[in-house]
Amino acid sequence: MTSQLSWQETEERYRKIFDAARDGILVTEDDGIIIDANPACCNLHVYMLKDLLGQSIEAIFNDECVSKLATLREEARSNGGYSQHVDCLNIRKDGSNIPTEIVAVMLPNHSHIRWLYLIRDISERKNMEFAHLSRINMMGQMAMSLAHELSQPLTAITNYLKGATRHLKEGSSDNEKLSEVMTAAIQQAERAATIIKDLRNFVRRGEFQLAAYDLNKIIKESMAYLDNETQQYHVKIDLKLAKDLPTIFVDKLQLEQAIINIVKNAIEAVRDCRQEHKRVLIETLAITNSHFTIRISDEGPGLSAEAKENIFKPFFTTKKHGIGLGLAICANIIEAHGGHISHTTNDGQGTVFTIDIPIDKRRLEK
């Protein structure tokens, strides 16, 4: 009786550990028929336990993975009952795939063998690997673009300075001409510095200083920085700001930078239009109790098909002397706040940039 109770206690402890494990655990007969699975395994594959029992492992493992498991079992047989791990693509009930890491453990049971498979979800690891490769690829593209962008002002500086040197060697007394050449060289040097500064802003990954602000007040204060542009190009900025908006938690300076950049682009889009009244419309809305929307509309010529596809990519520009980092920086800022930026065609003509941003990114992360 004491032995029987001891066995029951052992079984109960095993079951508690089995059910509480965060990794998936699958138990099969030697022929691959499933005889048990813990909740983590069921949740991972989106199956009820009763639907898994009696099925072959092929229900949740693709052909390549089934072959890998056969290799694991052979390895376990000759290695004290344990295998190394392999990466597999498991199959959920809906047919979608989930990347996993699997270890096989042999369970001798009197006259036959059963198998226990430890299954770990490695989706996050794979996503991080993909993101890392994407960043490396992007860095390569940016390096090539940066080399191209810097080569123009640096070549111009070299040519201007060669010309100035030639004037000095020839003993030229035309100081006005020499001054023009040096001024042009300085302008090109400043352009190169601007390219590097914008690139630094784009790749910066410092912690944002989140604090509580009134979104409408941020927009009104941002527009004060654009008074010169609006007066010079006779553009009117109309504000249609929702009332009684909740407080938003953002990095004020970063969000102002993004808004100013987009509105400045909108002003440039309408400045050469022939209509008498040139205007840019800025709207704020509270779409839900967790997100705001900022909408910036212009009535300019709109975006080309190429621009629509690449507008947020680093170094893409439609401006003759543009660097192509402005909107990439904007997207970077909005995404760092947990938001999203997109563009659509305005009714009639022009472009609408829409920023969706959480009221409090910290609350979403929790």
pLDDT in tens, 47-84: 999 999 999 999 999 888 999 999 999 999 999 899 99
Residue-wise burial string across 294-333, b where 16 or more C-beta atoms lie within 10 A, e elsewhere: bbbbbbbebbeeeeeebbbbbbbbeeeeebbbbbbbbbbb
Beta-carbon contacts of residue 129 (< 8 Å; ≥ 6 apart): none
Are the C-beta atoms of residues 33 and 56 closer than 8 Å to each other?
yes
pLDDT reading at 138 higher than 70 = no
* Of 329, 343, 363, nearest in space to 255 by CA: 329
- pLDDT for the residue 241: 93
* Of 307, 303, 301, nearest in space to 349 by CA: 301
Are the C-beta atoms of residues 202 and 254 closer than 8 Å to each other?
no
Which structure tokens are listed for 128? 């991080």
User: Domain 2-121: what homologous superfamily?
Assistant: PAS domain (3.30.450.20)
pLDDT reading at 168 higher than 90 = no
pLDDT confidence band for 201 (50 / 70 / 90) = low
pLDDT confidence band for 154 (50 / 70 / 90) = confident
Top CATH class, 126-203: mainly alpha
* Interatomic CA distance for residues 263 and 297, integer angstroms: 9
- pLDDT for the residue 320: 61
Per CATH, 2-121 and 126-203 having the same topology is answered no
* Interatomic CA distance for residues 303 and 343, integer angstroms: 10
Which structure tokens are listed for 174? 């035309």
Query: Per-domain residue ranges for the chain?
Result: 2-121, 126-203, 211-365
pLDDT confidence band for 366 (50 / 70 / 90) = very low
Q: Which residue has the higher pLDDT, 318 or 285?
A: 285
Helices H / strands E in the chain, number of each: 12, 12
pLDDT confidence band for 27 (50 / 70 / 90) = very high
Cα 327–chain centre separation = 15
* Interatomic CA distance for residues 159 and 363, integer angstroms: 55
* Interatomic CA distance for residues 300 and 346, integer angstroms: 9
CATH match of 211-365 with 3.30.565.10: yes
Neighbours of 12 (CB within 10 A): 10
pLDDT reading at 129 higher than 80 = no
- pLDDT for the residue 364: 47
- The whole-number average pLDDT for the span 107-112 is 82
pLDDT digits (tens, 9 = 90+) for 215-262: 999 999 888 778 778 888 889 999 999 988 888 888 887 888 889 889
Q: What is the pTM of this model?
A: 0.48
